[in-house]
Amino acid sequence: VGSGRGVDFKMQNIHAGAYDPRLPAGIMMPPAGGFSAGAACRSAAVVEPSTRTQQPIVTGTGVIGIKFNGGVMLAADTLGSYGSLARYLSVPRLKPFGKNTVVGGSGDLSDFQKVTALVDELIRYDDANDDGCHLSPSDVHSYLGRVMYNKRNKFDPLWNELVVAGYQDGEAFLGFVDLIGTMYKDDVVATGFASYIATPLLRKAGTNLSKEEAKKALEDCLRVLFYRNTKASTRIQVATITEAGIDICEPYHLSTYWGYKAFEHTEYHGHKK
């Protein structure tokens, strides 16, 4: 559109803010008083909501937890799977917060990084108050439940299942939160495929266990999970939370045994059972 009195006269018949088909696509008549930043944003084309993890790409498998006499213990492997490819072999998924809380996460690893960043910010804000009070494991569990439920209501969930473990005031805490905000507390917890494989084994082991017995029960569960889950690894970490504090061990490898008769598939080599 050029300049000149003829053009200006034609424009007088179009009210402010109206769409004029003679103008280039997406251009509107300026409102009375001129454009503002807010008006420009409102007049822009409608953009679909951001949804980054409707189809998770790099994921971690199950996290398992169990209470024992004097504390609570979590375990998870360190594999980050790129689809079905065992791409990242050293991804820790047990994150300590404060002096008495550990959060473990399965599902999309970028979303788990977002979750840990949110809790880190919460802990820093709590510490900055310097009032002698600190967030309990139950507080962190409740906070994460609200975060996950809020994201779910926006139809853009954080694609994770989380386990919150801690120890405070002489009591062990173990809780679960999923991507739609479902929350519960229990003596044994497992996420992902481990909820099907490991939960019966953990319940069979019970909670009247020593620290060593609890660790063995978790190792046995992760070993079975490795046998049955293509997204699992033998490289694991174990976190122990007691009155003395948090102890997350360095990653180590589980031993495995493949000589069981049930594992033999001779028919693959042209032989019948």
Question: Amino acid letter at 66?
Answer: I
Neighbouring residues of 234: CB distance < 8 A, sequence distance ≥ 6: 77, 222, 223, 226, 253, 254, 256
| Of 53, 61, 78, 191, catalytic | 53
Please indicate whether residue 53 is annotated as part of the active site. yes
CA dist 190 → 3, 75, 252 (Å): 71, 10, 20
Give dist(CA 113, CA 107) in Å, integer. 11
What angle is formed at CA 75 by the lines to CA 227 and CA 260, rounded to 5 degrees? Answer: 20
What tokens does 183 get? 């929350």
Angle at Cα 214 formed by Cα 210 and Cα 217, nearest 5°? 140
Do residues 242 and 228 make contact, with C-beta atoms less than 8 angstroms apart? no
Q: At residue 156, what are phi and psi to the nearest 5 degrees?
A: -140, 65
φ and ψ of 251, to 5 deg? -60, 145
- Measured at the CA of 269, the angle between CA 263 and CA 273, to 5 degrees, comes to 55
Catalytic site positions: 53
